Homo-oligomer: A and B are copies of this chain.
């Protein structure tokens, strides 16, 4: 049965009892990708995210050494509250674990970046069928030939997700997803995969393939795997991310662009 309350899901993850994806849970709240880097590289990564807001919409950044996302979930701890983590050393996957307290350092900065899980719930609510959701499979992801705008050591192609969408619903999903700039926003491409350098839709670089029906067209969105791929390529001495699909679940309502906290409230 799906969990509805983010704090409950985080507590289960904190005691190591949540195994697997967070997809389909807490549909009313934003989920986020995690990228943790040394402070030395953090401004450079912030520059990359600011220059590439479609793949890298910044939800929150924490000050060096502080594992509490004060705006996104003030009672959370980013070292324990995700189901799983990946640890990269010199750009290579070195470890997978369920807790990063022993790796935490005073100079580590955490970035929370928007996730398409936020966005998929909104499409489903509007009556758009999403094949990967129906099949409980992981959305297919492809390395496109769309170049990100580089920032220092961070550069590389954009990773995109693909969802087959009924031709008659393309205008609807464009309009709907444009309202979620904090979760990748409008599509980056609609139609011919080869136009963005994707040779075969049945061979995704990540996730599971899905067929595209006769009355459907492939629709491509910027993907939150992009910053991880780019950060791997930069070969930092240490980078920690979430385990793909096992996101950080925030307290931020799905629709809200700005964060909670008095600095952001509208009257």
Most chain B CB neighbours (cut-off 10 Å) among A152, A259, A263: A263
By a CB distance below 8 angstroms, the chain B residues around A62 are: 47, 151
Is A6 among interface residues, defined by CB-CB distance under 8 A?
no
List which A207-252 residues lie within 8 A (CB) of chain B: 222
Is A64 among interface residues, defined by CB-CB distance under 8 A?
yes
Is A133 among interface residues, defined by CB-CB distance under 8 A?
no
Is A58 among interface residues, defined by CB-CB distance under 8 A?
yes
Q: How far is the CB of A62 from chain B (nearest CB, A)?
A: 6
Q: Please tell me which stretch of A36-44, A91-99, A122-130 contacts chain B, meaning at least 4 of its Cβ atoms lie within 8 angstroms of it.
A: A36-44
Is A258 among interface residues, defined by CB-CB distance under 8 A?
yes
Is A51 among interface residues, defined by CB-CB distance under 8 A?
yes
The 8 Å CB contact of A70, one of B55, B66, B151, B188, is B151
Is A71 among interface residues, defined by CB-CB distance under 8 A?
yes
Query: Hey, which bits of chain A sit against chain B, CB under 8 A?
Result: 39-40, 42-44, 46-47, 49-55, 58-64, 66, 70-71, 109, 146-152, 158, 178, 181, 185-190, 222, 257-259, 261-267
10 A-B pairs with CB atoms under 8 Å apart are: A50-B60, A51-B61, A52-B259, A63-B152, A64-B152, A70-B151, A146-B263, A146-B265, A158-B262, A187-B267
